[in-house]
Structure 1
Amino acid sequence: MTKKFKLSASLYGHSLDVRSVAVTSNNSIVSGSRDKTAKFWSPNRIDTGYTPIQTYRDQKNFVIAVLYLEPTDEYSDGLVVTGGNDNMINVYKPSEPFTTFTFKEHSNAVSCFSEYSTKNSFLSGSWDCSAKLWIAGKPNSVITFTGHSAAIWAIIQLKNSNVVTASADKTIILWNSNGTRINSLSGHSDCVRGLLDLPELNQFVSVANDATIRTWSYAGETLNILYGHTNYIYSIARCKAAGDNSFVTSDEDRTVRFWHNGENVEHFQLPAQSVWSVGCLSNGDIVTGSSDGVVRVFTQNESRFADEATLNKFNEEVEALTKQSSQEIGGVKISDLPGREALYDPGRKAGQMKMIRESGGVVAYTWVEDGDKSHWEKVGDVLGSTDKTSQDKTMYEGKPYDFVFTVDVEDGKPPLKLPYNKGDDPYQAAHNFLAKNMLPSSYLEQVVDFVLKNTQEQYVPPSTEYVDPFTGASRYTPAGGNSGQGFTGANLDPFTGGSSYSTSANQPKPSSTTVSSSEQGRFFPINSYRTFEMGDSNVILGKLKEFNGKGGDGSNESINESYLEELVKICNGPPDDPNSFDILFKLMDWPDEIVFPVIDVVRMAVRHKKNNEVIARANNGSILEKLLSFVSENCKIANNVVVALRTLSNLLIHEYGEQLVFEHRFDIVENVTALGVLNKNGQIALATLLLNICIVSLKKKDDVGVSVLADVVPDILTKLNDPESQFRAYVALGTLLTGSNSLQSEIKTKVKSNSGFVSALQSHLLSRQTDLEEKRRNCASQVQDILNIGF
């Protein structure tokens, strides 16, 4: 067990994440990808490489799961099985690109497969919370297993013929061969992602998002818990060539770990953020599928090592990504940028820019429109990355901290890590620590005391004073049902008419109070995001039911109304059923004319942290691309524009949405500058989003973004005709002017040279007829003072 795994071969051919791999007895490989294809690879018998024998393209959406069934009398070459987000199972003969059988019983994504003891048969698991047994050649499933309350992520048959399923509901269920539940097992604290049978030991193994590996007896007793991974564990595979109790696992921290007799004897990293799937060949080699779209083979056999140049290149890529995990450019972690696989996706329009992570750093590409020859063209290296590590900092989960404490909470368990930076709120740090490790809230004061004693810091409670620049009040006072992050009167619904949909039913109009400049204090800078809070999920549900069956992929297929009722629950917090998110993304494909209530569900859902994370991370942030399609000069549906602008503002209030919006800030700014004439609600939403982007650019110390916004905000302000919207644009501009010390002179020069803005500023300084115009005038006056412009 002293030999080390090294790269044997890299298989290129997929254009997006390789989500699943399966192996054959003769060491061929089947891979499934988000590019909607699966591929069959065979060893080329010349060197360590593989040759793509066939590509399977019948899946209409991402391929999540693949399986190979070994040859039988009926199918002498075996069968390839694929499943994915289109809810379909396709079965192929390996040499043929078209399906031999298609199964359509699952009502949601097909997420996993495994072999079954009967020849030509297999098991499937789905996000519809069911599992099924199939026999090739029979039109319908033979057995259906139902009992989980969330998506099924793994399924296997044990040596004793029982079936085991693992689910996002954190449980594992044992079933007999007739589909009757035997036992439900608990132990994992998060989604269970993989299962493995160890038949010689009468045991099976599970892996989960809680970063633990659990060994179980066939009766369902926990035998052991293995630790080593630091992030979600996605996959597990048996390495039979290494012994009865040997297996390999992969995870979200770029790591593959090899286990033997309960010990992690080796681990290695890949130059890709997520190692989605692993498999083990009969010769002991390990196969991986990862987020960079590459299938890789690793071996301990020196005769199958890749050549020295290939090994050096691979090691350099791993080292570069490890280093990039502590580097930033423009406030974005370099390791979070897409790799070259992102260049397979065509650009949306000529001139679009992309930053691509490469082994030597970050490279900018632009989309060149040239008919059939349109392509991404390299612009050059992007400079300005900064290494965040220092001798005085300790790295933890890719971030530098002044302190990373080791805390022993329970005997027999590995110690927990508590990261802390000087100046942080110790109560917030303690709360995050307890929440992450699912410890009782009663420990809060004890943890805070521990932090304060060990850092020798004194706790200074935050000030209770709050000057609200949007109401002119000297102290914040929450109104009934409205968040302090919202604007008074800001969320008036854009949809008018007697029977129209409304997100703020029966909302009273706010009263206005004139406040003098001296009473209201400064309107800026603002450092907390402004959101759109109001909405009635029951009203949204009514509109979804009205539109149900009128959209989708050109069909009139309706969604079960019980699913819609579960879906709208995410407006008010995390759902009971995680599959609600899948329904949400499916409904986003409704036609533009009726999709606005679906967007509004997103707007309300992302106010809640867990929802924000799930929606922002789903499908590599595809929600951002969808929202950008509505915030576009090509979108002719005013409702979609307004709600999409509001949703982008709400996304920012939690870290995953914030990072997603920040990464696409230039795309957003480019789109909003091209928008046509907006109604009052559209203008308010636009000005609010611009303010929030100013805040995040300053927060991330994004000098490039701040400089761009100094050009954009004054221009857009001149196009607004609503006093409230103009006021918010002035607040955004004032926040830029006072929030960026390093660029203040440059911003002032840019703004003062904008003759259109200077003319609008003069006009607004002279106008004070209504309360709103008075508020706008006072804010404009403060901007004038900073710019030192005299009229």
Structure 2
Amino acid sequence: MEEQETKYNLSAVLIGHESDVKCVSVFLNGTIVTASRDFTVKLWRKTDKNYECYKTLTAHEDYVQGLKTVEKGIIPNFPREVIISGSKDKMIYVWDVDVIDSTNNDQEIRPTLTLIGHEGAVVCFDVLSNGDIVSGSWDKTGRLWRNGEQKFTLTGHTAAVWDIKVLSDGFTIATASADKTIRLWRGATCTHTIQAHEDCVRGLTPLSGRRFASCANDNMCKIWSENGEKVIGKLFGHENYVYSIAGNKDSKEEQDENNSNIPIQKSSNFLGVNFVTSSEDKTVKVWRDTECIDTLLHPKTVWSATWIPVYNPENESYEEDIVTACADYIVRIFSRSRNRIIDAKILDEYEKILAARNPNSTSIGGMDKSKMYSMESLNLPGKTNDEIRVCLNGNHAEAYQWKSTQGEWIKIGDLVDPPPNSQTQISGTPKEKIGDKEYDQVFDIIIDDMGQQYQLGYNNGDNPYILAKDLVMRNNLPYDFIENIANKIIQNITPTTISDSFTLDPLTDDGAYRPPTHRQQQFVNDFGGDPFTSDGAYHPTTYSQPKQFVDDFGGDPITGDGAYRPFQQNNYQPEIFQTMPTNTGNDMTDPFTSDGAYVPSILQKDTHNENQQEYTQEHSLKEKQIPDFYIDKFVSITGANTKRLIEIIVSTNSDLVSNEEYKISSLQISAIKELLEDSSSNSLKQFSHYQPIFDFIFNIAFPHWPSEHLYPFIDIIRFVMLDSSFAKSFISFIKKSNIDLISQILNIGGQLSTTAPIKNTKMILRFISNLFLIPETLELLQPHKLNILNSTSSFINIDPFIQIEFSTLYLNFAIEIIRSQKESKYLSKEEISLVTSITKFSQMDLPENVLHRFLSAGAILCVKNNNLVELFNQLDFGKALEKASKSSNQQISYIGNYLLSNFFF
């Protein structure tokens, strides 16, 4: 078995491009595809000791900025793998790997499809589950293509679209833009607009349960819950723009199961996600959830990085190497396997290059960082007039001078590492003037095509791209001139102001400049970055690193489902989030609903008399504002691995159904595929079109197939019932057919007993959780609620495979009980069973995301029904809350502390 290092080491170097390598993507078979500013796309395959470029695609006529590899069988009419490339030439090319492989090396390879429509550089792609292609461009739009034709345009962004991804459900589209937002789309309709970052959003990676992660020019990456409703994690560590983010294979479990039958090793941490990110700071960082576990230094800007699966047959698992695309024209592979470390001589030379490009970070300008003042020291006055202090601001050293007459510290420059054989200096000494304003340098900018000349002032530390764009905008010049003007500045900056600490020009690699480290007014245009070079146009404000906030409602780490739409702390205030009226003792207004008369000792009573027990103890509560963690919307489980469901049905039909009379035909399989595809794309037809499928499910599959293999049909029913209109037609069908849907499904799962097949239990819990979503399906559930609660309450332990579904079900039960509660001096058996189970499960040792749901269910009941608080008290729910209050998870500790201080004394 191969030995593993804990850190990644250089494994291979791929040399062949003649300019920046902008994009890298991989196929599951290990083929690497790269795109470059040299106008080419290259394909690389493994040799005995390294990789070789075996094909070069040359159709593009400008920088190739976008790249996507697609596994075989996903895009219709392409039996083999597919490559999609996009360029500054505004063209999208779709390449058939079969055509690429069959073309002789002396022949030009032509794309199979050309997609024309974008009005700006095309920089990103993804593919929906039905094979539709989506693209994003600097023209501020996304577009969807089907069979080579544009079907619709995604309009709404006010700046360039930098990335586009399809989320785990296979049809929700996410776009990231320089306007600092992320938008989610169903078809051509924008369903969510997320104010995502404080600077241009550069990249996205989909996670399970319609979660996703993003990276941006604010140096930060964020992990988002379902539909981007909430930030559930932040990745701090990069010191400059973050250009790309890629989740590992278990972060996209559903998609990967569609693409490979090779087992994928799962992560055991709370999100189960590893990330790799690339940055302008010349590093690639590897993350386990939100913890940076490795940093891979590069000589220059790293435009893109992703995982490359290396299959190890000895342990039947993937070993995830990392492949990077760098501005030094080179593609690199890093591995943790000792057997794949590059030759020692090459590794030694590479480390020398890194040492030269990435100097010792313990000092700046020859001054030890530990001897520098903190920025907080500037809150105190100087000891003498004109005292100078050098302060450490992040990774920058800033010089300040105390002015007694003004009573403040004035920034006078930045401490920088000097060129060889020169002395440490503080930059910022004026040299030249334009009018009355002094600059370190003044450049004459001549626009030959227009016969015009301008003067442009430059100060050490200014960003050349900001200055260039400012000049262009101020004088109404064409945007095409930005690149050339910036290059002129970079190439002519006085050498004594340049040092190793300056950021190399990400476009030309020629000259050097350092983005501003002081808080100058930032120039922001529509693109928020250079729309013509795809480079960062300015350095964002340095952001502090607050304590990480991790929300565990991100969805099922196993299936990726079950995420909910939480409140948005700054924007969303439901009607129930209102200050409660004062209860004076005689005031009979309900302090929890502000409605009707309130008698503290009156408890709730269900309309079914046989399910009631008297319960009359009182408990008085403080006047209170309903807390911001309160949830009043049912949690939906929306995702489905449709391809896997079909595979299981086909396999069961072939291997386990012996009676030909009960087998499913190929036509019926095709009909199920159509049903799932239509549901995924939100384009379901009338129910009658699909009725034969459900006739087969209820009349043949349910009664005659092995019960432990019926769970795919249960999940199909759940999935298509997410469409409320279709669900109503489906309910009408089962009523006319005298089908007791809930009873049948519960019987398949052994009435949710602890001995039932776990996959059946999982799918049934998912199915039941979604019955709460619309009144018609909730009506079906009503007669079975107590039975379900009693069955699930018998679990002594909850299998990890069903924990998310289990806790989601209880959360929805709690919401439904509060919504339907009526004044009564009785507690229903349902309420008693629910409170008892929540108390029991909340005291178990559960993952944070599962525990959070149980605690939230308890919180809902406590906040909206003070009579249930008495029962919680008697059952010692406080023990679970005491433990929760000490949790490192902020939301769990918040709920625990809130309930302890307000309800449990």
TM range (shorter): 0.3 to 0.5
Structure-1-length-normalised TM-score: 0.47
Higher RCO (CA < 8 A, seq sep 6+): 2
Which has the larger Rg?
2
